[in-house]
Amino acid sequence: MDSVFDELYSKYHQDVFNFLIYMVQNRQQAEDLVQEVYIRVLKSHQHFEGKSSEKTWLFSIAKNVAIDHFRKQKNWKNRILEKFDWNRNDLTSDDAPPDKIAVANEEIQVLYQCLKTCSTDYRLVIIMRYLQELSIKETAEVLDWSESKVKTTQHRALKWLKIEMNQRLRKEEEDLEEIRMERP
């Protein structure tokens, strides 16, 4: 069991940690929840039947640990919507011109603001599919949904996200233009 545990840990620890940070937006809580995930792995590995990949099984446990964490708090659905890592700047690069970096950072912030307000299902699917890069099949297994439901939810989430981001970016541009016009 030790070698299996060590292999799981070395392969997926960072992914599980990142997933939990996206969910709880608190490094210390995420670290605590990762420990809880691995405690559950140790307790239940003998029951793992291999019907899914170990990665999918591990993310299912992580998802359940995160949901249990929110259930222990008041209004867990509202809290899950409030949590997201606002400090990511993945779209920037050192060789990009400053104006491109500024636009990318603004778009990232708007994306995170939108994710903060979307439904829990949309958020879970977007995080798993695009930030954790799970396949549709893996996402379906983690969420205990059909692949069709994942595809439909993903489609609706992306459509909603595009509309919401465009509205917010348009509003920000209008606000900036209004500020410029007010200056003497």
Domain match, 50 and 11 both: yes
CATH code of the domain in which 154 resides: 1.10.10.10
Q: Residue range 161-180: average pLDDT? A: 79
**Same domain, residue pair 69 and 128:** no
Quick check: 175 pLDDT over 50?
Answer: yes
Residue 168 tokens read as 């917010």
Confidence of residue 184 (pLDDT cuts 50, 70, 90): low
Burial of 87 (0-12, 13-18, 19+ CB in 10 A): exposed
62 & 118 share domain: no
Task: Tell me which residue range forms the domain holding 152.
Answer: 88-184
In order of 106, 165, 168, 177, 178, the CA distances from 172 in angstroms are 10, 10, 6, 9, 10
**Range 164-175 average pLDDT:** 81
Torsion of CA 27, 150, 107, 14, to 10 degrees: 30
Which tops the pLDDT comparison, 1 or 24?
24
Boundary-marking domain end, from 35, 57, 83: 83
Residues 79, 94 within the same domain: no
pTM above 0.75, yes or no: no
Q: 122 and 48 share a domain?
A: no
The enclosing domain of 75 has a CATH number of 1.10.1740.10
Digit-coded pLDDT (tens) for 94-150: 454 554 555 556 777 777 778 778 888 898 898 888 878 889 999 999 899 999 999
In this prediction, residue 183 carries a pLDDT of 62
Q: Same domain for 109 and 42?
A: no
**What's the number of domains the chain is made of?**
2
d(CA 51, CA 57): 9
> Among 171, 57, 160, 65, which Cα is nearest to 115's?
160
**pLDDT tens digits, residue range 49-88?**
777 888 888 888 998 898 888 777 655 444 444 444 444 4
Q: Where are the beta strands (DSSP E) in the chain?
A: none
Confidence of residue 89 (pLDDT cuts 50, 70, 90): very low
Residue 104 pLDDT: 53
Note whether 173 and 94 are same-domain residues: yes
Residue-level pLDDT at 1: 53
pLDDT of residue 9: 86
Asked whether residue 77 falls in the same domain as residue 160, the answer is no
